Chain A
Amino acid sequence: MKNPLAWLLWLWISAVIVGAFFYAPLAQGFIGESSRILFFHVPMAWVSFVAFIAAGVWSLLYLYRGRQPRHDRAAAAAVELGLLFGVLATVTGSLWARIMWNAYWNWDPRQTSIVVALLFYAAYLALRSAVEDDNTRARLSAAYAVLGLAVAPFLFFIMPRIMFSLHPQSVINAQGKVEVESRMVQVLLAGSAGFTALFFWVHNLRCRIQALSDRKSAL
């Protein structure tokens, strides 16, 4: 076994999948087994947020630590993966909403804010594809991603809390307390940790692919 950490991650996420169905109890007030999807929806939304914040941090490093292309590549890869996880969180949330609210989409503040966040970061990719010069593209997109350090926390955590929402309370509620059954919290935290590790693994692969591609096109 050449990659013990990778295999540990396989075991970890497999345990989360099994735990979501056979260890965690059903949440009260949810129809049928619909609460099971939250063990995947919440970690995906969390990873999306982590990815967008990481993109901002790598962009700061790019701007203030010698304009190294690897920091630009890391920021761009983080936004791509943040969008992927954000779309998956939105889809899983919509499936859950169909069961609980009888509609896939009803412009709940939580749904609206995630869509605005996804559009904000889709615009980041549009910006990157619109600029041809490598240095200008990296500088402009880094400045945009740094702006995201303020936008992402507002859209993920503040806006859904200051408006009336049908969305269930977060694991850590507005009063800063955890009022979720302990076995559910364990699976949610394990899922979030596992998905975060998966994000950094895929991010590393994506950056290395881009580095090889850049090296090849420079020849």
Chain B
Amino acid sequence: MELGGSGWIVAVNLIIWTGLFLYLLRLGKRLREMEKES
């Protein structure tokens, strides 16, 4: 994959999006736990 080419940019975008997505999923799970506790 050429550095700076379209494939490279798509890969970086997908990694960032997946990281954000997993963070949001984890945040939702943590919030559900806190709502049960309170």
Contacts and interface: CB of A to CB of B under 8 A. Distances in A.
Interface of A: 3, 6, 9-10, 13-14, 17-18, 21-22, 33, 36, 201-202, 205, 208-209, 212, 215-216
B37 to A, nearest CB: 10
A6 B6 contact: no
A215 B35 CA distance: 10
A14 B17 contact: yes
Interface of B: 6-7, 9-10, 13-14, 17-18, 21, 24-25, 27-28, 31, 34-35, 38
29 contacts: A3-B25, A6-B25, A6-B28, A9-B21, A10-B17, A10-B21, A13-B21, A14-B17, A14-B18, A17-B10, A17-B13, A18-B10, A18-B14, A21-B6, A21-B7, A22-B10, A33-B6, A36-B6, A201-B24, A202-B24, A205-B24, A205-B27, A205-B28, A208-B35, A212-B31, A212-B34, A212-B35, A212-B38, A216-B38
A212 B36 CA distance: 11
Contact of A14 (B14, B24, B25, B31): B14
A209 B27 CA distance: 10
Given A3-B28, A205-B27, A21 B21 contact: no
- Chain B facing A: main interface SS: helix
A56 to B, nearest CB: 25
Contacts, number: 44
A208 B31 contact: yes
> 8 tightest A-B contacts by CB?
A21-B6, A17-B13, A10-B21, A21-B10, A208-B31, A205-B27, A212-B34, A17-B14
Given A13-B21, A17-B13, A18-B10, 15 more contacts: A10-B18, A10-B21, A13-B17, A14-B18, A17-B14, A18-B14, A21-B7, A21-B10, A22-B6, A205-B31, A208-B31, A212-B34, A212-B35, A212-B38, A216-B38
A205 B13 CA distance: 23
A7 B34 CA distance: 23
A190 to B, nearest CB: 14
